Amino acid sequence: MTSCGCNPHSLPTIEFVGGETQELVFNVYFHSKDKPFGMAGATANFAIVSSLNKTGAPILSKPMTAGYDEHGTVLNVLRVTIAPSESVNLSGKYIYQITLRDMSGETEIPKQGVLFISNNINKSAIASS
């Protein structure tokens, strides 16, 4: 909990073993969750920081791609792939954040989520592939 009494970690909790390919998908909605948020002309970024150093620089920061919903009508599905090489040496608890920026440059951050990465016990298999 933060000093404001709110929970900033309201995005889904994600768990995986370091070195696994992770294809993460998020549906973007307005705050009321009853209307999809269109990403046309907007950009999105996915970043991870250690939970032990929340004020530090991101360990990983990468752009997300926008796609259409299952009906093909609204551009509100965000995707990001974490490659094996990007997580193989990570283990522990992390915080992830999605940052949205519209065409005018306004920024929206739809809270944060918790990411648990288990230690990969066979890192050399990832490095050699």
87 half-sphere exposure, CB direction, 13 A CA radius: 26
pLDDT of residue 2: 46
Q: Could you tell me which of 103, 98, 100 has the C-alpha nearest to residue 41? A: 103
CATH architecture observed for domain 14-127: Sandwich (2.60)
pLDDT in tens, 34-60: 677 778 888 999 999 999 988 899 999
Residue 13 has what DSSP assignment?
P
pLDDT of residue 29: 74
